[in-house]
């Protein structure tokens, strides 16, 4: 379930990019969950035409996925196509510059160009990409050369998994009860937490890995049912290839950013050596598990890890024993048949804690910060006095600070009635705890709120001083007040822009990783 400010922020982004009508459709889907076209029209009170077009825009930009839910009940409305909004993909939109930067760093500027087109238009066929490139290319360039170059760049992007085949336009999922019934026979051990509709629809829509990143694999391209390779001739194959729709694979970018965060976090907490080991571990298992949210890294044998470590400049001087010692320090002492795995979730949680703690330090001061860190570590209810004692905070001050944290939802408190030893009197103890999952959700919501306000403010600043942006440069330099105004706008935009980027790093940490 997306939080209230999360929805507002997403709607704001869609309004900015596609206008109010599309945003209304998007908001309705965010608030109500998956809906059929009829219901969407009813809830939004928009014309059928408007809703349909909005859905097309949202699908084109990978913000909506259509699906059919086949169920046991014969309810008519259930077998109709429903539309599911993909909140995460909306939030990726302000991250596009980050994604382009990654491709520029990892591949080259030609690939970045192809990626830019895909980000701008949402989904493109190879033919469309070639057309775009030819428009920009100079006349002398042979169109065949351009086509080859685009094809080659797309291949590179596919190899690196930064681009993927579009998912099936519409998928069919089976009613949850039926799945549960089928699962009933299995042992409890194999039971996984039930997936949400969103997860099931997304999973069903993604084509198998073999064709997802393949330019040439001949299949029923945008469909989830795999067809047998047929003996079709090359021309036909080429034609088909040109019609396949491609889009950006956000998952890979997020994984890249997650790995970066993990490595830098370990570097900051431990040292360069530990960061090198983590990096090597992630690099070596890069292609085995491609998901973003994983608890542990894929198990890797020490030999393989070592080979990866010494590939890096920092790792060159490391011995096997040293690598082992780092693994122990990283808490991966438990080996599964000589293979090591790093608890990635733990590092992510540490990073989240650090972020929340820094908020506490800034807002409530050092004493509150110590108490909060103490409670985070304890992971259980602690009485007021005990907290004050362990953190060396004045016992009379402690309740005041704790109450402030409670009021702002940073702590959880419960009252406990205990009888006083040696008398029949009862006294009330206040017990405090940090409820991490709840707190993280709350902080995330605060972040969405701040992101919305920041971006509204940015729009306002630009709008307010719009005329200055149209004044020629020499005129600005000539007049002092104009220059001052211009400088201010520049500063504010720079500050707000960089703040938004930083806030977005934090949003990813709390939502995506």
Partner 1 sequence: MNRLRESSPQRKRQKVSPSLTNEESILYNLIYSKKDIGIWTGDMKRETNLPVTVFNKTLKELMSKSMIKEVTTIQNKGRKHYMAIEFEPSKEITGGNWYTDGKLDTDFIAALKDVCFKYISKQKVSTLDGFLEWSKKNGIFNSEVTPTQVEDIMKTLVLDDAIVEVTSNGYGDFASIPVGRVCYKCKSNVKVKGELKYGLVPYIPCFACPRISFCSPDGVVSPRTCVYYDKWHVLEVIHI
C-beta of 499: minimal distance to partner 1 in Å? 5
| Rounded distance between C-alpha atoms, residue 24 and residue 20, angstroms | 6
C-beta of 331: minimal distance to partner 1 in Å? 10
Nearer to ligand SF4, 293 or 363 (CB): 363
Pairing assessment for the beta strands 64-70 and 170-174 based on DSSP bridges: parallel
- Taking alpha carbons only, the member of 321, 323, 339, 334 closest to residue 273 is 323
Tokens of 30: 């965010």
User: Considering CB distances under 5 to 8 angstroms, the limit depending on partner class, which of partner 1, ligand SF4, none binds residue 288?
Assistant: none
- Taking alpha carbons only, the member of 35, 31, 28 closest to residue 2 is 31
C-beta of 419: minimal distance to partner 1 in Å? 14
* Residues at the site binding ligand SF4, with contacts judged by CB under 6 A: 453, 457
Contact 296, 342 (CB under 8 A): yes
- Per the listing, tokens 């196509």 go with 81
| Rounded distance between C-alpha atoms, residue 185 and residue 424, angstroms | 55
Q: Could you tell me the sign of the dihedral formed by the alpha carbons of 436, 414, 409, 93, in that order?
A: positive
Nearer to ligand SF4, 78 or 457 (CB): 457
Residue 446 binds partner 1 (CB under 8 A):
yes
C-beta of 453: minimal distance to ligand SF4 in Å? 4
| Rounded distance between C-alpha atoms, residue 365 and residue 276, angstroms | 35
Phi, psi (degrees; rounded to nearest 5) at 447: -65, -40
User: Considering CB distances under 5 to 8 angstroms, the limit depending on partner class, which of partner 1, ligand SF4, none binds residue 272?
Assistant: partner 1
Residues in contact with partner 1, shown as a per-residue x/- string from 290 to 329 under the rule CB under 8 A: --------------------------------x--xx-xx
Residue 389 binds partner 1 (CB under 8 A):
yes
Residue 179 binds partner 1 (CB under 8 A):
no
Instruction: Report the alpha-carbon angle 474-477-479, nearest 5.
Output: 110
SS3 188: helix
Residue 359 binds partner 1 (CB under 8 A):
yes
For the segment 393-412, give every residue that binds partner 1 (CB under 8 A).
Answer: 393-396
In the complex, which residues of this chain contact partner 1 (CB under 8 A)? 8, 260-261, 263-265, 267-272, 322, 325-326, 328-329, 351, 354-355, 357-359, 361-363, 366, 369-370, 373-374, 385, 389-396, 422, 446-447, 449-450, 452-454, 456-457, 460, 491-492, 495-496, 499, 502-503, 505-506
């Amino acid at each position: 379930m997306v939080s209230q400010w999360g929805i507002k922020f997403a709607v704001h982004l869609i309004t900015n990019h596609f206008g109010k009508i599309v945003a209304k459709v998007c908001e309705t889907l965010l608030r109500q969950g998956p809906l059929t076209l009829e219901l969407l029209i009813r809830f939004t009170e928009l014309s059928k035409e408007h809703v349909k077009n909005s859905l097309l825009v949202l699908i084109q930009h990978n913000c909506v996925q259509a699906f059919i839910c086949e169920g046991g009940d014969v309810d008519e409305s259930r077998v109709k196509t429903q539309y599911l909004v993909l909140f995460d993909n909306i939030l990726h939109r302000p991250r596009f510059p980050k994604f382009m930067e990654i491709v520029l760093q990892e591949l080259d500027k030609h690939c970045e160009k192809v990626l830019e087109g895909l980000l701008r238009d949402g989904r493109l066929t190879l033919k469309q990409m070639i057309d775009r490139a030819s428009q920009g290319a100079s006349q002398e360039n042979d169109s065949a050369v351009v086509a080859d170059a685009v094809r080659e760049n797309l291949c590179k992007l596919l190899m690196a998994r930064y681009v993927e085949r579009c998912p099936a336009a519409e998928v069919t999922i089976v009613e949850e009860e039926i799945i549960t019934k089928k699962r009933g026979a299995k042992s409890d051990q194999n039971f996984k937490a039930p997936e949400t509709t969103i997860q099931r629809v997304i999973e069903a829509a993604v084509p198998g890995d073999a064709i997802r990143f393949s330019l040439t694999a001949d299949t029923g391209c945008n469909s989830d049912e795999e067809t047998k390779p047929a003996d079709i001739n090359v021309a036909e194959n080429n034609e088909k290839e040109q019609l396949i729709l491609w889009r950006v694979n956000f998952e890979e970018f997020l994984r890249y950013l997650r790995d970066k965060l993990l490595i830098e976090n370990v570097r900051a907490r431990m040292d360069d050596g530990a960061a090198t080991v983590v990096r090597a571990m992630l690099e070596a298992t890069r292609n085995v598990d491609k998901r973003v949210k994983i608890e542990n890294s894929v198990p890797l044998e020490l030999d393989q890890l070592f080979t990866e470590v010494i590939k890096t400049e920092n790792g060159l001087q490391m011995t096997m024993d040293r690598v082992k010692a780092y693994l122990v320090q990283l808490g991966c002492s438990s080996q599964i048949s000589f293979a090591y795995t790093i608890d990635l979730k733990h590092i992510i949680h540490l990073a989240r804690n650090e972020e929340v703690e820094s908020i506490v330090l800034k807002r409530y001061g050092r004493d509150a910060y110590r108490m909060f860190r103490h409670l985070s570590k304890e992971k259980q209810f602690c009485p007021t006095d005990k907290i004050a004692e362990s953190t060396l905070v004045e016992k009379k001050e402690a309740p005041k600070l704790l109450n402030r944290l409670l009021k702002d939802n940073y702590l959880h408190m419960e009252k406990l009635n205990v009888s006083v030893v040696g008398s029949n009197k009862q006294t009330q103890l206040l017990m405090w705890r940090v409820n991490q999952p709840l707190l993280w959700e709350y902080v995330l919501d605060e972040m969405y709120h701040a992101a919305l306000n920041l971006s509204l403010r940015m729009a306002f600043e630009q709008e307010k001083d719009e005329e200055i942006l149209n004044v020629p440069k020499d005129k600005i330099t000539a007049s002092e007040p104009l220059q001052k105004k211009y400088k201010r706008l520049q500063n504010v935009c720079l500050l707000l822009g960089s703040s938004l980027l930083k806030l977005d790093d934090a949003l990813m940490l709390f939502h995506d990783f």
